[in-house]
Amino acid sequence: MPSEQSAPLVAAFAGLGGQRVWSLMISLFGDLAQGNGDAIDGPVLSSIMAALDVRPEASRVALHRLRNDGWLQSHKVGRISQHSLTAQGRAESAAASPRIYAAPPDLSEPWQMVMTEENGRETDTALRASGFIPALPRAYVGRADSTAPKGCLALRGETPPDWLRRAVEPADLASEYDALLVALSTAENELTRVHHMDALGVAVLRCLIVHNWRRLVLKHPALPGGVIRPDWSGYQCHLLVDQLLHRYPQPALQDLAATSATG
Amino acid sequence: MPSEQSAPLVAAFAGLGGQRVWSLMISLFGDLAQGNGDAIDGPVLSSIMAALDVRPEASRVALHRLRNDGWLQSHKVGRISQHSLTAQGRAESAAASPRIYAAPPDLSEPWQMVMTEENGRETDTALRASGFIPALPRAYVGRADSTAPKGCLALRGETPPDWLRRAVEPADLASEYDALLVALSTAENELTRVHHMDALGVAVLRCLIVHNWRRLVLKHPALPGGVIRPDWSGYQCHLLVDQLLHRYPQPALQDLAATSATG
């Protein structure tokens, strides 16, 4: 059962879909306990998952699955279990973190247009692997410092027209970003009523934000700031995510343990 | 019958096709007598056309046609006819001259790539009318100082790869430019044997060059220097045309009249 403080926040994000418990748990460990040696006590994990409105059985199943998949490991210390990311889980979290926690791009960030000789699949694959975004037939948009494959024509970007800004937005995620923006705005609004939030509340809030943000942001290449449409909901989400994560920094694991013990 | 001096030059260009007499005559008047008040005496015109290997009847038919079309006018002055461009003919010649007599472009000349929102016919027409050359789907190459239609993305050109240089060359004129380059090189070679060329010979040579050059160059937009492939035969032709026209400048009409009188 979610805590009184967390309930309206959990509700704000509830309609977004993609709330598989094991995935939510990966977001939680990645945000709270990515450091080498970091571990979350069993009771703390139970409290957070309960606040996230996840039933205990569902949490146990997810924990089991993630241990089997090599993401998490559990150790008994005295009478309680301690759960932590495996080396592999830490590596995967670390690989995704720069993108998840990146500051919103400067909208004057330079970009480039790269044009290819042919519609070849090989060049297309190479360009996408380097973070280039298809914008027109045989033309890709990328950060100014990305290296284009040999034989391509690379031109420095100028202030782009609206249609180009829209062309590089991930069209298939448009409604999901719109929905996330509503959820984040609702949460931000709810938070204005909260005078003090304890470590557990912060952990829950951050997990909701990070989880729902990473589900979208990791599905498409980062747009160079210079081609971002300022009112694109993906960018507006980024601003809110960044603002909220800074306003509510990661709680220390000891503080969480204390909250849980007294809760 | 062509003069002894002109015969090998006429032969060099003979295989190029497009040698309609009225068209040849337009080239001749445009090169020799484009100024207001300029006129070519009947005997001079006859000598030049004869040197160009055109039969007198064919010349008369062409002259008749061009008078009917409003390009040329003829006046009797004493016993001889004087032929001149009409105001309209002069205007049309003047409109084509900047392109025909343009110096070869600097190969470092700046250029731009202009990209359009859609494959619309209207934008395509507007871009082509401004001298832009389609290079990729929805992307055009133009001179840096050309103005792109509103709503397009204009990017400053950088040193282009070979495939882009080839993409903007007029593919349908490739073999014709190759043939013209052979003709111009042959003529240039023949000219090394000529120690002095009289006014009539120069008029004939220039007519051959201007006529065969304008037939091709006016069929496609000018390529910005910065995207020209240095060994493109269209560019090599341009260099030779420019060089020969400077080495053999336009003869004065009085000198031509004198040559013809003594010939």
> If 0-12 CB within 10 Å is exposed, 13-18 middle and 19+ buried, where does residue A44 land?
buried
Question: What is the reported pTM?
Answer: 0.87
Helices (H), chain B: 7-14, 21-32, 42-51, 56-68, 87-100, 121-129, 162-167, 174-191, 199-217, 233-247, 253-262
B18-22, B156-160, B190-194, B216-220: least confidently modelled range: B18-22
From the list B113, B117, B137, the residue facing A155 with the nearest CB is B113
H or E element in which residue B76 lies: strand B72-77
Kindly state whether B144 is in contact with chain A, defined as any CB-CB distance less than 8 angstroms: no
* Chain B: closest CA distance from residue A22 (Å): 43
The stretch B24-52 carries a mean pLDDT of 96
pLDDT at A90: 97
Which stretches in chain A have pLDDT values below 50?
1, 263
- Interatomic CA distance for residues A195 and B86, integer angstroms: 91
Residue pair A197/A8 in contact (Cβ under 8 Å)? The answer is: no
Residue pair A93/A29 in contact (Cβ under 8 Å)? The answer is: yes
pLDDT at A263: 46
Share of chain B above pLDDT 90, in %: 89
In the numeric block, which tokens belong to residue B168?
């903007």
* Chain B: closest CA distance from residue A150 (Å): 9
- pLDDT at B199 > cutoff 90: yes
pLDDT at B146: 94
- The arrangement of strands across the sheet holding B72-77 comes to B40-41, B80-85, B72-77
Q: Do A158 and B163 touch (CB under 8 A)?
A: no
A115 interaction partners in chain B (CB closer than 8 Å): 113, 136, 139, 164
CB burial readout A144-153, b (16+ within 10 A) else e? eebebbeebb
Residue pair A209/A184 in contact (Cβ under 8 Å)? The answer is: yes
Which candidate in A116, A119, A153, A166 is best for mutational testing of the B interface (most B CBs within 10 A)?
A153
| Chain B: residue whose CA lies nearest to A164 | B117
- pLDDT at B180 > cutoff 90: yes
H or E element in which residue B151 lies: none
Kindly state whether A202 is in contact with chain B, defined as any CB-CB distance less than 8 angstroms: no
B158 interaction partners in chain A (CB closer than 8 Å): 153-156
- Interatomic CA distance for residues B143 and B66, integer angstroms: 35
| Chain A: residue whose CA lies nearest to B149 | A161
B157 interaction partners in chain A (CB closer than 8 Å): 155
The stretch B185-201 carries a mean pLDDT of 94
pLDDT at A1: 43
| Chain A: residue whose CA lies nearest to B162 | A151
A73-87, B4-18, B83-97, B218-232: least confidently modelled range: B4-18
* Chain B: closest CA distance from residue A158 (Å): 6
Residue pair B232/B178 in contact (Cβ under 8 Å)? The answer is: no
The stretch B34-57 carries a mean pLDDT of 96
Kindly state whether A149 is in contact with chain B, defined as any CB-CB distance less than 8 angstroms: no
pLDDT band at B262 (very low <50, low <70, confident <90, very high): low
pLDDT at A30: 98
pLDDT at A261: 62
| Chain B: residue whose CA lies nearest to A154 | B158
- pLDDT at B18 > cutoff 80: no
From the list A137, A138, A155, the residue facing B155 with the nearest CB is A155
A158 interaction partners in chain B (CB closer than 8 Å): 153-156
Which candidate in A150, A152, A155, A168 is best for mutational testing of the B interface (most B CBs within 10 A)?
A155
- pLDDT at B7 > cutoff 50: yes
CB atoms within 10 A of CB A250: 15
From the list B153, B160, B164, the residue facing A161 with the nearest CB is B153
pLDDT at B5: 81
pLDDT at B1: 43
Mean of all residue pLDDT scores within chain B: 94
- Which residue matches tokens 């973190």? A97
* Chain B: closest CA distance from residue A159 (Å): 8
| Chain A: residue whose CA lies nearest to B163 | A117
pLDDT at B263: 46
